[in-house]
Chains A and B, each alone.
Chain A
């Protein structure tokens, strides 16, 4: 069959296919009569193969190729019911991913809490060490923020409620940004993640140790304990996800380094979504609960409940019997 005859024979089908494509691409609500789309797509693929093997002109082959390519984009999409996936993620996938990656989570926690405790203890006994972590200006600002005597004037950490919004926005952009960076720099053989974990651990530990020896225990720990459960856990999880990337490059096992990296990236996304969720919760608590002027015992209790809840959620949620 010559090209012109072939075109004349099939043109109507191609035009109809293109119309269907346009409907699908516009995502219009009136996508009726599209049940035979896969069938038409296969027919089109056959036409393209025929045109190519019969050495019909490149213009025709290219035109059919473009139709095939657009059809491919519409036919092979990863469609999923978003709501059920979100629920599944919260009820099972996220905590399971954390337990599955317990080694990475363990290492990340060690690199975060270890230095924090060490430096916190050191600074508690040798307060002048704080100046090797931050400059005098920052130390003074921090002292002012958590000074218990500032409470009466409505300054410091326990501030007026309309500034909560400022801080909410600040926490979201700042903390989630740190979380993202801690994850992404894991690509540098894990070194970036370890560095950021270590650095944040040192600063947080140093601040805690310094303020404790000043006797600002109530204002500081009362402020941080509740949202810390989510925020600190999220940072270690972001670090764990980053370490997973780095480890895939260091020890890819039976896969090629590229494949190992792609697999690790795919798997670590469960942790990253969890990090985003936890940091959103943390920002909310930090802005609207932690700033409230309540008794230390109340704050301590709520904080304890938060830590227990996070621990129980990550430790037990989504455990099912072996048959599943």
Chain B
């Protein structure tokens, strides 16, 4: 129905129920930011433990090595698997990792994508991963390609659709579904727009709907109210 625009990165995924889930893969910038946040967290944890473990002598040094190993290799794996595909950095930026079929990520896939990070980092600062992300439509780095995973945006809280308090009004001509949708969308988003923009958008339809410019807004809202039907 609503075809994604050409520039949109949304990627439809058909479920067994015959429904298209729209996943929105995340690009390099938010992912790099998430990585930096994770890096800072890891650094701080390491620092905090270093200060504590320094009092435990040789046992502390051993534990320090193990902790360093865990943080550098297992931090992303454990978070992704146990916390619905999110590391703290990804959570902050509203991202999460899923299998390419939209299901939650499991141990093997998470381990593959995070071990292959080694190659994505080559030759320096994630060059290989960056090139790989830019050369496919779903922004997958090499590790994602091998593990068949995606980093997508999480569902965001939706804006509340406000009631249309304008008396219903029948459209002057028969509208097809896409035209109806456009009018409904206008009514739903109209509170987020500035007065000038509302008027500007409404005037686009004045000629085809044969309505006077001065009443364009109220008439469009009225039609939306008609299309949505009685309460």
Interface, chain A (partner B; CB < 8 A): 1-5, 8, 25, 41-42, 45-46, 48-49, 52-63, 65-66, 68-70, 72-73, 76-78, 162-170, 172-174, 176-177, 180-181, 183-185, 187-188, 192, 245, 258, 261-262, 265-266, 269, 272
Contacts and interface: CB of A to CB of B under 8 A. Distances in A.
B119 A188 contact: yes
A181 B72 CA distance: 13
28 contacts: A2-B227, A2-B228, A4-B231, A5-B229, A5-B230, A42-B17, A49-B18, A52-B1, A53-B1, A57-B184, A58-B2, A58-B184, A59-B158, A61-B2, A65-B21, A69-B155, A72-B15, A72-B21, A73-B84, A73-B102, A166-B58, A169-B66, A172-B69, A173-B66, A174-B65, A187-B142, A262-B147, A265-B147
Contacts of A166: 58, 61-62, 65
B230 A266 contact: no
Interface in B84-126: 84, 98, 101-104, 106, 108, 111-112, 115-119, 122
Interface string B7-36: 000000001011101110000000000000
Contacts of A77: 103-104
A162 B57 CA distance: 9
B39 interface: no
A164 to B, nearest CB: 8
A55 B1 contact: yes
Contacts of A183: 115
A262 B148 contact: yes
A78 B181 CA distance: 38
Size category of the B interface is 35 or more
B227 A184 contact: no
B175 to A, nearest CB: 9
Contacts of B102: 69, 72-73, 76
Given A52-B1, A173-B69, A180-B115, 5 more contacts: A62-B158, A165-B62, A187-B116, A265-B112, A272-B115
Contacts of B119: 184-185, 187-188, 192
Interface of B: 1-2, 15, 17-19, 21-23, 57-59, 61-66, 68-69, 72-73, 84, 98, 101-104, 106, 108, 111-112, 115-119, 122, 142, 145-148, 155, 158-159, 161, 177-178, 180-181, 184-185, 187-188, 227-231
A177 B73 contact: yes
* Interface class of chain A by DSSP: helix
Contacts of A180: 73, 115, 118
Contact of A3 (B63, B117, B228): B228
Given A72-B102, A162-B58, A170 B15 contact: no
A162 B118 CA distance: 34
B116 to A, nearest CB: 5
B145 A261 contact: yes
A269 B58 CA distance: 34
Given A167-B62, A173-B68, A262-B146, A59 B188 contact: yes
A62 B158 CA distance: 8
Nearest to A56: B184
A59 B115 contact: no
Nearest to B229: A2
